Structures are given as structure tokens and as C-alpha cells.
Structure 1
Amino acid sequence: MSDTAKNQLKKSLGLSFNIAVLIGGTIGVGILRTPGTIAEMLNNYWLVLASWLFGGLYILLGANSYSELATMLPKAGGSYNYIKRALGEYAGFLSGWYDYITNVIPPAFYCIVISEYIIILFPSLASYSTVMAISLLFAFLLLHLSGVKNGSIIQQITSLLKVICFVALVTACFMYTGVEVPKIQTDNSIFHIGLIFGFFKSLQLIIGTYNGWNSVCFFAEENENPNKNIPKSLYSGVILVAAIYVLVNAAFFHVLPIETLAKSNLAAADVAKILFGENGAKIVTVISIFSLISILNAFMMIPPRILYGLSRDGFFIAQGTKVNKGGTPIVALFVSSLFSLFLICIGSFEVLFSFAAFISIIVWGLAYFSLLKLRSKEPNLPRPYHSFWYPWTTIIAIIASIALLAGFIYSDPKSFIIIIGITAVSYPLFLALQKRE
């Protein structure tokens, strides 16, 4: 058996894994934390719900374009494959590493946050926070070393438990009749400058909570039937996540008036305290742990796939393509886990996370543009799936991406400066790799 054949990823994943990794890789603690912050920024019930709905519709437009791209080029690593094919080697290199940075940060963060939530339930473990975070990382590293099938089973179980927890929380909120919600006063000065700033900051937070919606595309090469499974899972998964997000916000508003919710740092805990008394915070902590285990599992699987694809195209070391018997890109997994271990030890995420939504918007926007480019550049490329209402849906997605990016630059210029810095450093690195090849 040749080395190339030996290092092929295995086609062992199906539709249920796709939906599970999309839900598991998207819904996290963000939806439990951000409703209060967004309510404070916008201070208008309908504007808050409209913001979450807008985020969902934007992601749905993305699912429409990605369904065509991922079935046309079903390769490990997702977005950068389409960008490289359409816009050239450097665009592929830059977007691939952007995507990798965005996806390799979360595992370390989630390990730390899970350990913090465990300490809330068991305060006696307070001095073991870092030890627990590192232990979690090693436990998931061992799980994924054992093979992609085990990771898939854990993903499906934890994602199902997560959905059940959120449905139960939303149901409990709507069944609650103990508080009469006062009529929300609408703000007639919707377009004053402070609110526009708040709207874009809110959208940056909302896009952050939707991050992971295109997870299935990273596993396209391992899918048993990508032509059917990828579009089905993208549409059904995105609609389900958007519905949960809008319903969670509406449910929280049913229990607490917007003025009260706006002062909450952890909206879900305050709502649960009213619903379930003092044990409410513990219930939210348990839901958070389920959410985080599911999302941690997904993000332990995603970065190695991106690194595998980058290695195969000469954008990282050749050993990055090594796959073990269980179908796991083993060197890529070890490299990503070492990066996570380093982040756990230094524990600094604020700067890294602040530009994650920025990077995502840039990569998605380039992918949408790639769809337009490939339709004209390679019209005969096999397309098992054609996006709805092309080219208008793709053009709208590009315009929305540019508008969001402009809004993010306006509301968060520091992150934009960091991105310019990363981009400036990237070109000499790209040239060095090209020379080596």
C-alpha cells in the first residue's frame, strides 16, 4: 500500500454525525450568557429578537452557498479548499490558516470553562482548575486517538442531550406564570448612532454564537454520501440552531422584563433562579457542562482536519497528513492539542476570541465569492447540488458579509488592526513555504 493511500481519511461518517457536529459545534455557553448583554445594548424586545433572526438568516444564506461548495469539492479542511481553487494559492493559504486559528483556540477555552463549572458544583476542587482542564484535554485526545468512530458516537450522544436540555429550559420558561411581564416600551430613536454601534456589537456577539455552523464541511471527505448528507445537515442544523436561539431569547423575556435581563451577566442563571429557586444556578451549570462537552468534542475534531488539508497542499509539514488505523489525522491532532495545552497554561483568550467573528466573516465572504468565481471559471465542474436562487442568494450573502465586516471595523477597530498584522506576516511565510516546495 502506498503512503498516499495509507494516509487517506476513512469514509465512515453519516447524516446523524453531520447534524450532531453542526449542533454540537455551534450551540455553546454563548447563548446562555449573551442575551443579557445584547438586551442591554439594544434595550428593545423586537430589535433583540430581530438581531437573532437576522443572524440566523445570514447563516442560512451561507448554508445555501456552502451546500454547493462542499459537495462540489468534498475535501478535508472546508472553506480554504474552495477559496484556493477559485482565488489561488495565497488566498487558500491565508484563509486556511485564518480558519485554523479560529478553530484551534476553542478547545483550550472550553477545557478551562468546563473545569470552572465543575468547581461551581464541587467547590472543594477549586485548587485543581488547571489540572482538570489539562486532564480533560488529554481525555479527549485519547478518545480521538482511538478512532473517528468513537468521536462520532460521543458527538451524537452529547448533542442530543444538549438539545433536550435547551428544549426543557425553554418549555419551563414558557410554562412559568409567576411574573407579569410589563409592556416593553419601544425606542423611537432606533437609528441614533449609539444604537447602530450597539446593533453591530450585538451582531458580532450573535455571529460568535453561530460560529461552527459550517462544521460539517470540514468532514466532507469522511462522509459516506456527501452529495446528499451535507445539504440536508446544513439546512436542518442551521434552522434548528436558529430556532433554539430565538426561542431561548423569547423564553427569557417571558420570565424577566428586558430592563432586568439587561443587567444580567449570566442571563440563563438568573432566569433559572426564578424558575427553580436557589438550585436554578446548578441546573444551568449542568446544562452548560453538557453544552461544553459536546462543543469541545467537535472542536477537538475540526482543527486536525484543517491542518491535514493544509499539510496535503504543502501549507504545513508533510507529516501532517499521517492518518492512524482509526481514521484520525494523528500528527495534526497532536499539534492542535499541544497548541491547546499551551493556551491552557497561559490562559489568555480575550484578544484571541475578540477577532474570531472577524476572521469567520472574512473566510465566509471569500467562500461566497469563490462560488461566483467557480461558476464562471469552471462551469463544467461536477455540481451534485446547486444553491437556491443563484446568483442572488450568494450576492446577498457577500453584501451582508461586507456590511457586517464594516460594522465590526467600526465597533471593534483593535481586532481589525490585529488581523491586518497577521495578514502582513502571512505573505513572507507563504513565500518561504513555496520556496521549500
Structure 2
Amino acid sequence: MQNNSGKNNQLRLFDLTMIVVGLVIGMGIFRTATDAASASLTPTIYFSAWIAGGIIALCGALTYAEIGSRYPVTGGYYKIFAACYHPSVAFAINCIILISNAASLSGVALIGSEYLSQLIFDEPASDLVKSLIAMSAIMVFYFVNLAGLRMSSQTQNILMLIKILMVLVLISALFFPGADPSSLPPSSIPPSSIPPSSLIYSFGVALIAVSFTYGGYQQTINFGEEVKDARKNLPRGIVIGILMIIGLYLLVQMAYVHSIGFEALKSTRGIAAVVAEKMFGPTGKTIFTLLLFLAVLAYVNVLLLSNPRVMYAMSKDGILPGMFAKTDEKRGVLTVSLTVFAAICIIVLFFANTFEKILGFTIFLDSIGMATSAATIFILRKRTKHLDGTGIYTMKWYPVLPLVFMIAYTFVGISIAINTPVLALTGLAVFAVFLGIYFLVVRKSKGIKHS
């Protein structure tokens, strides 16, 4: 009876597809278009970056689908590093992924604060004020989680539906009158007069913001054993979900350019609210902003809920000290892990108090995590040859797809290093520090489990 019940509770294809869409369509789509546009010398580069981002995501999705099929365990994204690399590398990469997740949470909180500050203040708020609003949102949900309170799954689902509805509202702007051509800034210079090196550089910097917006789908690998017929439904759900997202994202970009104009988009803050105001007036802008801030709070809550559990699992595996597994049994709260993760979010906001800085830092760390996690497919293929021909998912065009994905994220990392070398050096320093911590502290701990 227990087994049957477990099977009935497993995720089906539709469930998994919606999870993919929910993981990827975060808050970035309401902000990163400005960063991508400001980096793009021409509209062609802008839209090419969004198309390329979708293709890269699809290559990654198919790669992670096979990784999930060959290594279908709950917590797979965290565990593949420990399974395939030296414990020191696994420790350092998993730690920087946690730092990246904290930076991502901080970045999303800043997106919410940028929108909310437009309603609160008549004049544009300073970076410090927006940072303080973001910190306040994080602290509120830190104490909510610390008290053992839980935002119900129903509430989360409602907020997810609201977020999808907001995306559809933005797309509907295509059917409203566009920006007045006479009021638009001069058009971009023609591509023929731009040196190829400048075009490549522009494309690479635009891809940084696009990569942030497409991120999240790799986490579906964590559902390995929770998916019904995982070997078939895992790849199908990921691919269908990514294709849906590519279509939605391209339509949203078209709506932004249609409503605001490409050149004006480069300097527009609160782009989604501006589009809503053009469609429905000041009231529409206010309602849209408040709904978006609610969705931001939901995202903050989810990351504060999920990431301490990753730290707990790492502690149980001996990768992090035992104190990270400390649990308040009465309230069911991972007190140490929750506190440390929330503190990292606040520290990131303190040192990188603008979305642009957090974006570069997050994606640089993500570039390391994405490239190294995708590379595990080469190791897993060798180790699991016995599974070939047994019905597991095996991607077509191997090894081209994982190589394209890894090269793309290497290119993004190099673009960040060229554009903002300080952020890249900071990311490398963080990675080096965690390697040092492993050899100086973790390796000496008794009970560490080597893979």
C-alpha cells in the first residue's frame, strides 16, 4: 500500500513541465531586458541574444535530462559534483552555487524594491534606499521561516499563476498602440559600421542578463526519483517546458520594444510597470507593481525555504560542518542553515547594492557551476555504459549539445571578466577560498565521506 501511494504521489509529465516553467520564469523577465538592451548595439544583437539564450538553455536542458536519467536521485544537482569530482572541487562548487543562489535572491529582492520604490517616492530612490527595502523583505521572511511558519503550497501556486498572468498581460501589449516614433531616441547605428569585435563583445554582455533570465531549469534534476517514469518524463518535461519559455520570452521582448522602443528600453527602469501604464493607465501600473512585489516575496520565501535544506543535506554528507544540520525539532526549522543563508543574502546586498553588480557576480559563479555540472555527462556516460539500451533517455547529437552548452557558459564567464573584471576576480577568489577551507578545515574533520 505504501509503495502504491508513493507512486500515486509521483510527478507526472504535466506536473514536471509546470515545475520547469515555474523554476525558470522568475522575476528576471521584468528587469533584465533593460540590461540586455543597454548592452546591445543593435536590435538584431538584442533579439539574437534572447534566441541564443533559449538555444543554450535547450542544450543544457537535454544534457541535464540525460544526467537525471543516468543518475536519478533526489538532490541530483548537488550530488553529481560529489559523485564525479574530487571532494575538494565538489565542496567548492556546491558552496559557490549556494552563494550564487543567495546573490540571485538578493538580485530579485532588488528588482522588487526598484518597482516598489517608484510607488513610494516621487523622485527616483537611491541605490542605498532600494537596497534597504530589499534587505527588509529578506529579513521579514527570514523571521517568518525562523518562526516555523510556512507559506502554503496553495499560496505559492496562486502567486505563480499571477506571475504567468502578468507575463501574458505584457505580451498582450503587442495588440495595443506602440511607442510614438516621433518621441523615440535616434535609432542604433547600422551593424555594417561596427567592428566585428565590438559586435561579439556586445552580444556577450547582453547574454549575461539573458542567462540570468533563463536560469533555473537545471534544478529539475533534483526531482529524479520523484518523477513517474523518470527516464522518459524527465527529458520530455524539461524540453517542453523550455520550448514554452523560449516562446514566451521572445514575445515579451517584442512587447517591450513595441511599447517602449529599443533605444528607450536601454534606460527604462520598471519596464513592466511602464508597459502596464501605457496599456491601462496609472491604476494599471500600481496594480501591476503590487502584484509583482508579491511575486518577489514568494520567490524570496521559496529560496529561504529550499537552500537551507541543501546545506542540511551537505552537512549530513559530511561536506559542511555538523552544525548546519542543527534543527529546531519543535518548529521544524534548520536554524543555523537558515540564518547563515539569510546572512549571505544581506552581505551580498551590502557589498553589491545594485542589480547590475549582483547580476554579473551571480552569473559568473553560475558559469562555473553550469559548465562543471554539464561536464559530468562525460564521466557518467563512461560509468553507466551498462544502462545503454535499457530504455533510459540518451540525447541525440552527443557530445555536440553538452559542448555547446559548456562553451556558451565559458563565453559568458569571459564576457563578465572583460566587462567587469573586479566581479570575476571576486568570484574566483570566493572559489579559491572554499578550496582552501576544504583542505584546511573540512578534510581534517572525521566522518567526511569521500566519493
1:264 to 268, 271, 274: 268
Query: Could you tell me which amino acid in structure 2 is paired with residue 175 of structure 1?
Result: F
Q: 1:434 matched to which residue of 2?
A: 443
Distance in 2 between the 1:287 and 1:397 partners? Answer: 34
Q: 2:296 matched to which residue of 1?
A: 292
Distance in 2 between the 1:23 and 1:318 partners? Answer: 35
Q: In the alignment, is residue 335 of structure 1 matched against residue 337 of structure 2?
A: yes
1:178-220 Cα offsets, whole Å, 9 max, x none, are 5465896642235444443322111111111222222222344
1:206 to 189, 205, 210: 210
Describe the shift of the 1:50–1:26 C-alpha distance in structure 2 as closer, same or farther (beyond 3 A).
same
Q: CA deviation at 1:224?
A: 5.7
1:362-386 Cα offsets, whole Å, 9 max, x none, are 1111122110122124422588322
Q: CA deviation at 1:68?
A: 1.3
Contact 1:14 1:229 in 2 (8 A): no
Q: CA deviation at 1:319?
A: 5.7
1:360 to 354, 366, 370: 366
Q: 2:139 matched to which residue of 1?
A: 134
Q: In the alignment, is residue 239 of structure 1 matched against residue 243 of structure 2?
A: yes
Q: 1:3 matched to which residue of 2?
A: none
Q: In the alignment, is residue 38 of structure 1 matched against residue 36 of structure 2?
A: yes
Distance in 1 between the 2:422 and 2:207 partners? Answer: 17
Further displaced range: 57-66 or 245-254: 245-254
Q: What is the aligned-residue RMSD (CA, Å)?
A: 3.7
Contact 1:272 1:280 in 2 (8 A): yes
Q: Structure 2 stretches of 5 or more lacking a match?
A: 1-5, 123-128, 447-451
Q: 2:87 matched to which residue of 1?
A: 89
Q: 1:407 matched to which residue of 2?
A: 415
Matches within 5 A, 1:105-116: 105-108=103-106, 110=108, 114=112
Distance in 1 between the 2:57 and 2:242 partners? Answer: 7
- TM superposition score normalised by structure 1: 0.82
> 3-state DSSP class of the match of 1:380?
helix
Give me the identity figure in percent: 23
Q: Structure 1 stretches of 5 or more lacking a match?
A: 1-8
Distance in 2 between the 1:401 and 1:310 partners? Answer: 26
Describe the shift of the 1:38–1:158 C-alpha distance in structure 2 as closer, same or farther (beyond 3 A).
same
Describe the shift of the 1:378–1:227 C-alpha distance in structure 2 as closer, same or farther (beyond 3 A).
closer
1:47-78 Cα offsets, whole Å, 9 max, x none, are 21111110111011000010111232233444
Describe the shift of the 1:413–1:112 C-alpha distance in structure 2 as closer, same or farther (beyond 3 A).
closer
Q: 1:348 matched to which residue of 2?
A: 350
Describe the shift of the 1:406–1:110 C-alpha distance in structure 2 as closer, same or farther (beyond 3 A).
closer
Q: CA deviation at 1:156?
A: 3.0
Q: CA deviation at 1:110?
A: 4.4
Contact 2:80 2:373 in 1 (8 A): yes
Q: CA deviation at 1:405?
A: 2.5
Q: 2:396 matched to which residue of 1?
A: 388
Query: Could you tell me which amino acid in structure 1 is paired with residue 245 of structure 2?
Result: V
Distance in 2 between the 1:199 and 1:335 partners? Answer: 38
- TM superposition score normalised by structure 2: 0.80
Matches within 5 A, 1:365-376: 365-376=371-382
Further displaced range: 378-387 or 80-89: 378-387
Further displaced range: 237-246 or 56-65: 237-246
Distance in 2 between the 1:352 and 1:261 partners? Answer: 20
Q: CA deviation at 1:117?
A: 4.9
Contact 2:61 2:238 in 1 (8 A): yes
Describe the shift of the 1:191–1:374 C-alpha distance in structure 2 as closer, same or farther (beyond 3 A).
farther
Query: Could you tell me which amino acid in structure 2 is paired with residue 371 of structure 1?
Result: I
Further displaced range: 114-123 or 199-208: 114-123
Describe the shift of the 1:209–1:252 C-alpha distance in structure 2 as closer, same or farther (beyond 3 A).
same
Contact 1:273 1:279 in 2 (8 A): yes
> 3-state DSSP class of the match of 2:395?
coil
Q: 1:197 matched to which residue of 2?
A: 201
Q: CA deviation at 1:118?
A: 5.3
Q: In the alignment, is residue 174 of structure 1 matched against residue 201 of structure 2?
A: no
Q: 1:4 matched to which residue of 2?
A: none
1:228-249 Cα offsets, whole Å, 9 max, x none, are 4432332222222222221111
Q: CA deviation at 1:163?
A: 1.0
Q: 2:125 matched to which residue of 1?
A: none
Contact 2:141 2:301 in 1 (8 A): no
Contact 1:45 1:184 in 2 (8 A): no
Describe the shift of the 1:178–1:113 C-alpha distance in structure 2 as closer, same or farther (beyond 3 A).
closer
